[in-house]
Amino acid sequence: MLSHYATSKAFERSLKTEFWLTGLAAFAALSAIVLTIYLVRLLGHAALGNLLEAGILPMMGFNYMRLLPVLLSLALFLGLFISLTRQIQDHEAVIWANAGLAPQTWLRPILQLALPVTLVIALFSLVALPWLAQKRAEFEQTQGAQRRAILLAPGSFTETTSASGGYQVLFIEALDNTGGEARKVFIADERNGQLGVTLATTGVITEHPEGSRFLTLEQGRRYEHRPGADAYRTLEFKRYHTRLDPVAADPLSQGVRQMSTLSLIQDPKAAHLGELVWRIGYPLSALTLALLALPLSQFNPRSGRSFNIMFAILVYATYNNLVGISESMVAQGRLHPLLSLILLHGGALAVFYGLFVWRMTPLRWRARTP
């Protein structure tokens, strides 16, 4: 007969293997779903001209990494809950209990999986996500400037910079198949305080070796007007050149999502404290949900597990929504950040302890056996 130590080690080894395999399967499935959704959405943006083709994969990466803590937390919870539910359904939990293993023994393999995953989530939420948010904002700014420089889609307005440094808005009714010849061109611009409107029948788009792009208009008319003056100036031309440089990017503003955790601590405004509560709270919620998976997985095999599954989903959704609500309340100055962490996560740990004592005691465990 195996000693209690050997039984305990065999139990932990078996459970850890199942936890890891189920968790990885859940993570892979969730990642595939999320990446597919993002790919379809970004392809739609690219088809509408709102995103360059070269930006599809980087934006997929930014979106996926931003959601990675959520995926890890959900995969951790699902991996534990599914594995523990199977143990109950196949009566393996009863066998381990009859072998002399106490309910507390289940916590060790759960924590051996949950703690490393929680550490990764903490590193992402506290360090990596702010950096990724900053890089994403910079990438979107660069993409916007490049798109305005490159994209001259028929039937849409495109904003560029004129040769004199002012703004100009172009509208092209049609382009030929090569994208080099435009028909029925409209340009509204501002140069040194003077407003102008240019109309032309045709135009040719050319690119110089240094990278600058020009639009040469033919057979058109230009109207100029200075605000405050009564007269307009009308010019007819056979050929007219305008430069298609991108609009200068606006200065990049830094939101709370892009601020480092240290910066949030050093500048304890209400909005910054709310963001800090979210960054600290998410790994705490992942760990607490991993612990809650143990009592939530207990069910009577005779009555089925549908109620337990629905209840577990409700607990997960409610807990994560409360994390967002606490962030909002702290950001509005309605709740102290430390109090919000204690009430939410301390309360969740109290719920775990109550459920664990109620559903995992040996008497109740035996009462649930068929």
| Cα four-point dihedral sign 333, 336, 341, 344 | negative
| Amino acid 7: pLDDT | 61
Span 43-52, mean pLDDT? 77
- Is the whole model's pTM more than 0.85, yes or no? no
With a CB cutoff of 8 Å and minimum separation 6, the contacts of 272 are: 256, 259, 263, 264
Mean pLDDT of the chain: 80
For residue range 11-39, list pLDDT tens digits in order: 678 788 888 999 999 999 999 999 999 99
| Sign of the alpha-carbon dihedral angle for 86, 303, 348, 95 | negative
> Cα angle vertex 122, ends 117, 125, to 5°?
125
- Our CA angle for 366, 21, 34, nearest 5°, is 115
Of residues 188 and 121, more confidence is placed in: 121
